[in-house]
Structure 1
C-alpha cells in the first residue's frame, strides 16, 4: 500500500473546511492531513474535531516552524496574500510545495520571481488553483499563440466591498463601476477581493497588462467574473457566476485529485 501524501493547511476558514469535508467523505484517499495553522487557534481546534479516520491525529500548530517540522508534501494556503508572502519562501526552501488560493500575492513581480527561483532550486512547486474562475488552460494556450489582449470584469454587491476605500453607503442605491485599471493596481486596492484578476493575468498576459474592472450593484448576491482573451485566431469568453465562495474550496480539492490521478484534467 502506498504511503499517503502528507498535507498541511494554513488558514482554517470555510474554504479549508471543504478540504476537510472531502477528506472525510473519501474523495482524497491518497492524502493524510498532518497539521493545521491558523491565526485563530480556536478555528484550528474546531477543524481538528471534524476530522475522521486516518486524519484524526492531525496537529494544531503554534507557528510555521512547527508546521514545517511535520514534513508535509504540500501546504494548502487558504489564508490571505499576506500569509502567502510570509510562508511561501521558507516552505519552498524546505522542498515543500504549496497549493495557493491567495494568488494576488504573485502580482508583486519581485516576489513572483523569488518564488519561481526558490521553487526551482528546491524541486518544489506552487500550484495556483482556479478558485472562483476557470479556463486557465485556454488562457495559457491563447497566450502562447502570439500577442493577445485580455480583460476581466467583476460584478459584486456593495457589502462585499466594505472595508475598502471605494465603499460608501451610496453604493446601495446605484450601480457603479468602482475600479478600472490593471491587476497590480486592483490587488493593491482590494488585497483579498480580486485574487481572480491576478490569477487570470498570470495565466495570460501578466498583471500589468490585463484590463480589470469592478462594478458594484445594489442587492447583488455573489460574484460574477467575465474573462475575455483574444488574438488573431481565437476569441474566448469565460463567464463564471458563484453565489458563494465555495467553488474556491472545491477547486483545491480538484487540484489535489489531479495531483494524485494518472489521468489529469
Structure 2
C-alpha cells in the first residue's frame, strides 16, 4: 500500500511537489517573518537565539551577519564555529547541511531549488530540489554559488565568484565558472615544514639533556651503592619533596612549573626503580 506523502515531505525528499501547497505557503510566510526579525535585530545574542529557533539544527558558536535570506529555515543544519558574512542566500527546499568550522564570505548562495526541464511540467507549478552538503573546515569565498545536489568535502576552499556545479573531494581549492579543481591542499606537508625548525631545536636539546641525565644516573649509581652498603631504604620522601621544591624555584616561567615538576617526579621514579635493580643484584 502506497504511503501518502504531504507536499512538504515530497519537497524535502527531492521529489516533484507543488510549492503552492497551503502548508508550504504558510511555512514560507513564517520564514519571512523570522528573516525580518533576524535581519533587524541589533543584539547579537538575540539574533543568535532567533537563528537557533529558525534553523533545523545549529552547533555552538554560530554567527551570521545580516541580511540573511532563506526559503524555510527548517532545512538548514549548521555545525559548530560557523561564520557567514553579509547577504548570504540559502534556498533550503531540500536539506542544506554545513559541517563544523566553516566560513562563508559575503553574498554566498546555496541553491537546493530547481525546476523540471520539461516546459509542461514547469508551467504546471511542479518544482523539485536536491540537497547540498558541505563538509568540515570549508571556506567559501564571496559571491560563490553552489547549485543543487553538490557536496563539498572536508577542508575545501571555494574561490570568490565560483559557480560550483559538481561535487568536490576533500582537501582541494576550486574556482571558476563552472568551478574546477585548481590545486590540492597538502596541509600535512605544509605542517611538517612549519614544524621542522622547532623539532630540530628539540633534537639538539635532547642530546644535551641525555648527556646530563647520564651524569645524573652516575650519581644515582653511587647512591645505590651506598644505600646497599648501609642497608638504607630506597625511597626518601622528604628528599624527593625537596628536589621538587628546588625544581619549582629554578623554573623562570610559571606556565612550565607544574609540567617540569611532573617530569622530575617521573625521573625520580625511574631512578628508584634503577636503584632497586642495582641493590637486588647479588
Normalised by the size of structure 1, how large is the TM-score? 0.22
Larger radius of gyration: 2
Greater relative contact order, per chain length (Cα 8 Å cut-off, separation 6+): 1
TM-score (norm 2): 0.21
